[in-house]
Amino acid sequence: MEEIDLNPTDQAILDMLQVGRCSPTYIAQEQDYSRQNVTNRLGRLVENGYVQKLAPGLYELVDDPREGDDAE
């Protein structure tokens, strides 16, 4: 899987999905981003296999792209 550059929105989304499943609306409200921005970024994370869309408006983390970075 190719690495992607994560922006602050991606980081916030991944942080929230580490805790549990979320909707774009909930993430947008909690992180003070627009719902459209969150939806666009979630789509990108889904395309890269990091996040899975479970149902309309419900997402979960599959593989955190930040794991294995210099963070550990």
Q: For residue range 11-68, what is the model confidence (pLDDT) as tens digits? A: 999 999 999 999 999 999 999 999 999 999 999 999 999 999 999 999 999 999 998 6
DSSP tag of 70: T
The pLDDT value recorded for residue 71 is: 43
The pLDDT value recorded for residue 67 is: 85
| Other beta carbons less than 10 A from residue 12's beta carbon | 19
The pLDDT value recorded for residue 28 is: 98
Euclidean distance between CA atoms 60 and 63, whole angstroms: 10
Euclidean distance between CA atoms 4 and 41, whole angstroms: 11
2: left (phi over 0), alpha (psi -120 to 50) or beta: beta
The pLDDT value recorded for residue 2 is: 52
Amino acid at 2: E
The pLDDT value recorded for residue 1 is: 41
The pLDDT value recorded for residue 4 is: 77
